[in-house]
Amino acid sequence: MSIPDTDSQDDALLSGAEERPDIPLENGLALTAEGSEIFDLLHDEYNIADVEDVYMRINRAHIDFSQTDPIKKILPMAFDAKGDDGLSVDRAIFSSPEDTLNRARIPERNGVLSWNVGSIRQAPFNCDVVYDPVTIDGIENKAHSLVKGVPPRKPTGLEFRIQLRQICTWEIECISAEDIIQNN
pTM (2 decimals)? 0.73
pLDDT at 25: 47
- Residue 17 is predicted with a pLDDT of 39
Pairing of strands 53-59, 128-131: unpaired
In this prediction, residue 177 carries a pLDDT of: 76
Q: What is the pLDDT of residue 181?
A: 59
Distance separating alpha carbons of residues 151 and 147, to the nearest angstrom: 11
Cα 37–42–46 angle (5° rounding)? 110
pLDDT at residue 149, rounded to an integer? 92
Say what the pLDDT of residue 157 is: 84
CA angle 105, 119, 165 (to 5 degrees): 50
Q: State which residues of the chain have pLDDT below 50.
A: 1-20, 23, 25, 27, 31
pLDDT of residue 111: 97
CA distances from 110 to 58, 61, 93 (A): 5, 9, 21
Q: Structural domain boundaries of the chain?
A: 53-175
Q: What is the pLDDT of residue 46?
A: 77
